[in-house]
Structure 1
Amino acid sequence: MALAPLSIPGLTKLPQQTWRQDFKFILDEFVSLTPIQGWITVQHQGSYLRVATEAKTIINLTCDRCLQQYNQRILCQVEELIWLELDDLDAGIETGSQELDLLERLPAQGEFDPQDWLYQQLCLSLPHPQICQVDCRGLDVELSPTHGQSDSTELSERVDHRWASLAALKQQLEP
């Protein structure tokens, strides 16, 4: 079940000017292992919309340190106020509502897309950096003899196994 765009003027005709929807679906744009489930409400407040959600899912991420894949639970609990522009002139006028932190703007006679908004909030809920474990040590690195050094000196350098093919090619090309 997808969330269809809402007519902003149509919200004023709903009881308490509020639309609420429970959901459980897969978003093609947001790859997850489990369906995204939760609820979303959109409440018309005259000059702004109050949008809130609680959504959860499990996704598969790649660790920024060791490059291993791991599963991560995502819990998105967000409330946002979205300013409604009454006309084209309103778009360029400073309203003095800075204390309300109204950053997003929509035309008052337009539509609100709850599915796109939910997608954006889920993306913002992703962990940064993506680390599989608190004590992740990073890539496994193997020791190998340094090129051109005798084995008796036992000088070695750290070599990332992903570069092994390039190192072999480099040895073939060097005189």
Structure 2
Amino acid sequence: MLDDVLGPSLDVLFCGINPGLMSEATGRHFARPGNRFWPALHLSGFTPRLLAPAEQHLLPSYGLGITNIVPRASAKASELTREELARGGAELAPKVAQVGPKVLAVLGISAYRTAFARPKSVIGPQDEPVGGVRVWVLPNPSGLNAHWTVATIAGEMARLRASL
């Protein structure tokens, strides 16, 4: 299981769908070279330079953290069942309430819709909180998500950052 990256007084708790196999093997979030999380995070202005997955421990110093909806690693998020996502969403709410970030940023609209039973949700700010915390849904940064580029993911992250 991949450990969360947490700290006190987080502005944003980024929430991936689940760890990829490389992330599980290395103990680092978004570790696969084709993943656009780290470049988009930097381009959006959240970090002053491009961080490598091995530097994830620096995120709390920027007011950022990382968790996942489902702890089980898989090659693709599509391997998760609807039940796993729903259970993960239910288990995430108390964690978010305890950590208390300003915003929970879920990275993946389809997983968000399933995990929180909100089938009509769109990318951006959400009306319903999770664990008492404001939610913003971002595109999935996986290289398998061909509908989004690093620049467009960074643009959505920048919208979130401007809302803080």
Q: TM-score range by the shorter chain?
A: under 0.3
**The structure with more helix, counted as a fraction of residues:** 2
Higher strand share: 1
Larger radius of gyration: 1
TM-score, normalised with respect to structure 1:
0.23
**Higher RCO, Cα 8 Å, sep 6+:** 2
**What TM-score do the two structures reach when normalised by structure 2?**
0.24
